[in-house]
Amino acid sequence: MEDEPLPPPIIKKPSVGGTRSYDEGIFDSLVTRMNKYKQAAEYCMKVTKDKKSAIRMLDEAEKLNQVATDYKTTQRFEKKLLSPNLTPEILFGITTEDKHA
């Protein structure tokens, strides 16, 4: 059974021209974080062959996509939906105990 390749990262940028009622810097940082999770999912599938981690990363990317979309349309987002910055601990599932062992 062949693994299906992951879709390429989707980079959503605001349209050029006109006035925006949202902060582009915040929006861009949300999109950047979302793309990092998508790249991590691709890494999990191609390098470590860890489908469970890849699915978890894609879930986080989808949440971040929703957060970015909500922010773009309402200029607000719920912090509880915001995924943390991607770290090696998150990517590889390293616990605090593992880190200090």
Tokens 């970015």 belong to residue: 68
Q: Taking the model in full, what pTM does it have?
A: 0.71
| Lowest pLDDT segment from 2-11, 55-64, 70-79 | 2-11
Report the mean per-residue pLDDT for the chain.
Answer: 83
pLDDT digits (tens, 9 = 90+) for 15-47: 555 556 788 999 999 999 999 999 999 999 999
Asked whether residue 1 carries a pLDDT value surpassing 50, the answer given is no
How high is the pLDDT of residue 22?
A: 82
Cβ contact 8:35 at 8 Å: no
The Cα 72–Cα 63 span in angstroms is 14
CA dihedral 36, 37, 42, 43 (to 10 degrees): 80
